[in-house]
Amino acid sequence: MATIPTKVVVFAYQVGFGDCFLLRFSYPTRERHVLIDFGTTELPDTAGEEPMLAIARDIAKKCNGVLEVVVATHRHTDHISGFATNKSGTGPGDVIRALKPKVVIQPWTEDPDLQTDATGPAASDDVRGARRFAGSLQAMQGIAQQVHELARGPEMRRLAPAVREQLAFLGQDNLTNRSAVENLMTMGARSLYVAFGASVALGRVLPGVKAHVLGPPTLRQTDSIRKQRVRDRDEFWHLQLKRLGDEGGLAAAEQVLFPDRPYVSGGKLPFSSRWLAQRLRAARGEQLLALVRILDDVMNNTSVILLFEAGNKKLLFPGDAQIENWSYALSQPTIQKLLADVDLYKVGHHGSLNATPKTVWGLFSKRSSNPGSGRLTAVLSTLPGKHGSEASNTEVPRRTLLSALQAESNLHSTHLLPGGALLEEVSLPLT
């Protein structure tokens, strides 16, 4: 019987700033497929017309119309936007849905029951805390919506262009994509909402492949993933949203009382006082940017971290998990041992430094300065210049991390693909 795969191919699609990976496990008699994320917030300039639809169709072709597993690591737009559908049934998400995935895996924070009853995540008995945290995520996305609208409006036109761009970009990434979320919730024959240590039995759909869930932890295991630097963490986002609403709402900046009359933003201040107005505008922009960055961090720390074992190889896909998500897994000696001989590493969070903790990088025993068989393979999906800045050493992908990847692994990155290329294939024998 063909119960053990002999080869795995990773198709890394060019989605710019986003992730989309199709895994093909080859058996003697057939091929089986896993899609890990499908989203973008910024496509490269060389992308053709309707690139996400083109990718969805290519996935359908490679799968021969059948998809075994879909993994949506977390709710960020750059990981799920491709799952969106449309009324005519021709969206990229419609194409993926038509492949009738047998299993859809998402983090426990996406479990719809958290909002309606007391089941909570399967691995946690802190039901009340879990439900409040999930509610906080929703409030966070309400703030992101308003920040995104504000960044595009007239109120922020005097901010530094870099600040406006970051506000718009991070705000967009945290928007709720209702179509994609609902599609993911209902497209699979079986839906799994997982946390650290969850049992993911994939034997029927992926014979000979074992999946370990290394993150995210539940709040009972650790509350580090909340990373909300305030005293009342569970209520913070609700209070922030209410405060913005009490102030007339961020979006109110675009509302004009008399739309048919010339619009003037504020009055003319005395020349001697204008420096203060400029300082206040800059402070407001930096405060909003700090807020939306926290939203981004917290959502990243709900990422599913999956480690696949197949044949004699291990493949690690951590989504955008940052150190707060990783910490609980790394505190377990058995997990450190499990990570030591990883063969393929999907670089976390598009190459940001805090998504590849030094502890994790240090565990990889197959890192080597000598190219050749047996060296660690790294796969990265990214688009430089969209996140962070070199001036503050927060650019994505981080230069120091790229240097380490290039020096000690066989690096395959979508940002190095030639213009117009749809994907790169990375093949590993499993025997």
Average pLDDT on 199-212 reads 94
pLDDT in tens, 322-342: 988 999 999 999 999 999 999
Query: Is residue 32 included in any domain, yes or no?
Result: yes
Compute the distance between CA of residue 141 and CA of residue 126 in angstroms, rounded to an integer.
23
| 272, part of any domain | no
Tell which wins on pLDDT, 99 or 386. 99
CA atoms within 13 A on the CB side of 216: 32
In angstroms, the first-to-last Cα distance of the chain is 16
Any domain includes 52: yes
Q: What does the pLDDT look like over 120-150, one tens digit per residue? A: 344 444 556 666 666 666 666 666 666 656 6
Mean pLDDT confidence for 187-193 = 94
Whether 99 is in a domain gets the answer yes
In a domain, 370, yes or no: yes
Cβ neighbourhood burial of 203 (10 Å; 0-12, 13-18, 19+): exposed
Mean pLDDT of 242-262: 44
273 domain residue, yes or no: no
Stretch (H or E) spanning 408: helix 399-408
pLDDT tens readout for residues 331-371: 999 999 999 999 999 999 999 988 999 999 999 999 999 98
CATH of the domain at 357: 3.60.15.10
Contacts of 256 (CB under 8 A, 6+ apart): 263
Is 193 within the bounds of a domain?
yes
d(C-alpha 168, C-alpha 395), whole Å: 17
Number of independent structural domains in the chain: 1
CA distance 360 to 349: 14
Query: Which structural domain range is residue 206 located in?
Result: 7-147+166-228+297-429
Q: Is residue 265 part of a domain?
A: no
Q: pLDDT value at position 402?
A: 95
